[in-house]
Amino acid sequence: MSPQITTFPNEKPEHPVTLLSMGGLMTGNFWSMFCGGCGYGIIFQLFDKVFVEEKLDPFKYPVIIGIGCYTQGNTLVPAASQRVTTLHGRAPAMATGIKLANPAMKPIILTGDGDCLGIGGNHFIHLCRRNLDSVVLLFNNSIYGMTGGQVAPTTPQGSSTMTTLGAVFENRLDGVKLALAAGATYVARTTVAHPRTFMHYLKKAIKHAGTSVIEVVTPCVTYFGRKNVNDASQRMDTGGLLLEWIKAHAVWNNQAKLLSEAELADKYVIGEFREEDRPEYSAEYEKVKKKAMEG
C-alpha cells in the first residue's frame, strides 16, 4: 500500500499520525465508522502513539488484520504501515508466511475475540506453540460486534446477547490462559481504561523476540453494553458507563490470587503473565534452511 496519504475536503483531522479515515473517504465528513463510545478508536490512537514515541519504522511492522469491527482500523494505523486484511481468523497463517519470507519483518496481528478465539482458535494455538516472532493484539469486547451481537467465546456467563434466550450459560474462554497453555512467550492483559499500561505492554511486546499476546478488554457499547446492566442496574449504553464497568471488573493478577474462582467469574484479570526467552520459529527455520543449502 502506498505510504502516500490524502485528506478530504470536509474532514477535520485531529489524529496525530494518520490523516485518512474510511468515514472521511465515504462521506467527506466523519473521522471513523466506529460507534460512539466504542473502544477501538482509543486503541488505534494509542497504537499510533507507540510508533511515534518509539520512533519505529512502520514499514518493518506489517499489520495483519482479521475480520471484525476493528478491521476498519486498517485506515488508522501509521500511514507507512503495510496492511493485509485476511480471511476471518486466518491472520496468524498470513503473519507466518510474511515472517518466513522476510525475517526482518515483525508482523503485528490485530484480531478480535471472535476472530482469534472462535473461528481462528486453531491458528492462534499454533502461532503461540511455534513462538513465531509477532505481536497479537487480541481485542476482547465480549461479543461478535460486526455481525450484530452474537454470543462469543468470551461472553461472560450470565450476560445477555442478541442470540441467547435468557442469560448466557456457556463457559467463558480465557484468551490469556489459552496463550499460556499454547506456549506464547510474552502474555499480558489490559483494558482500554488503562491506556498507559497498554502502551507499556505494546512497547515491550514489540521488543520481545517471540510470540507476544496482549489481550485488550474494550467496550462494545452497541451490542454488549446496550444489552447488559452494571451493578447499579443501569443499562450500559454509553462508552462512559461501559468503561467504568470494565475498570471496576478488572483485577490485577496479584490481587486475583486472593479471590476464588466464583469471585473471578465476571472479572478480567489484568497484568503480565509470562515473559521468557525460548527459541523463536523463524530463527530456527533459517538454521534448517542454511543446513539444507550446505547439502
Ligand X SMILES: Cc1ncc(C[n+]2csc(CCOP(=O)(O)OP(=O)(O)O)c2C)c(N)n1
Which residues in this chain contact ligand SF4 in the complex, by CB under 6 A?
A: 34-35, 38, 40, 69, 141, 145-146, 220-223
Contact between 88 and ligand X by CB under 6 A: the answer reads: yes
Residue in 47, 61, 70, 268 binding ligand X, rule: CB under 6 A: 70
From ligand SF4, ligand X, none, which one binds at residue 221 (CB under 5 to 8 Å depending on kind)? ligand SF4
Separation of alpha carbons 41 and 219, rounded Å: 11
Q: Minimum distance between the CB of residue 34 and ligand X, rounded to whole angstroms?
A: 10
In our burial notation (b when 16+ CB lie closer than 10 A, e otherwise), range 243-282 reads bbbbeebbbeeeebeeeeeeeeeeebbbbbbeeeeeebbb
**Residue 63 dihedral angles phi and psi, to the nearest 5°:** -100, 115
Burial (CB count within 10 angstroms: exposed 0-12, middle 13-18, buried 19+), residue 209: middle
From ligand SF4, ligand X, none, which one binds at residue 35 (CB under 5 to 8 Å depending on kind)? ligand SF4
Q: Minimum distance between the CB of residue 70 and ligand X, rounded to whole angstroms?
A: 5
Find out whether 56 and 206 touch, Cβ atoms under 8 Å.
yes
Contact between 141 and ligand X by CB under 6 A: the answer reads: yes
Sign of CA dihedral 190, 197, 34, 93: negative
From ligand X, ligand SF4, none, which one binds at residue 281 (CB under 5 to 8 Å depending on kind)? none
Contact between 67 and ligand X by CB under 6 A: the answer reads: yes
| DSSP-derived secondary structure letter, 222 | I
- Cell digits of residue 110: 490485530
| DSSP-derived secondary structure letter, 240 | H
Sign of CA dihedral 118, 124, 128, 129: positive
From ligand SF4, ligand X, none, which one binds at residue 182 (CB under 5 to 8 Å depending on kind)? none
Contact between 245 and ligand X by CB under 6 A: the answer reads: no
From ligand X, ligand SF4, none, which one binds at residue 34 (CB under 5 to 8 Å depending on kind)? ligand SF4
Residues 109-138 that bind ligand X (CB under 6 A): 112-115, 119
Contact between 153 and ligand X by CB under 6 A: the answer reads: no
Binding interface with ligand X (CB under 6 A): 67-70, 88, 112-115, 119, 139, 141, 143-147, 152
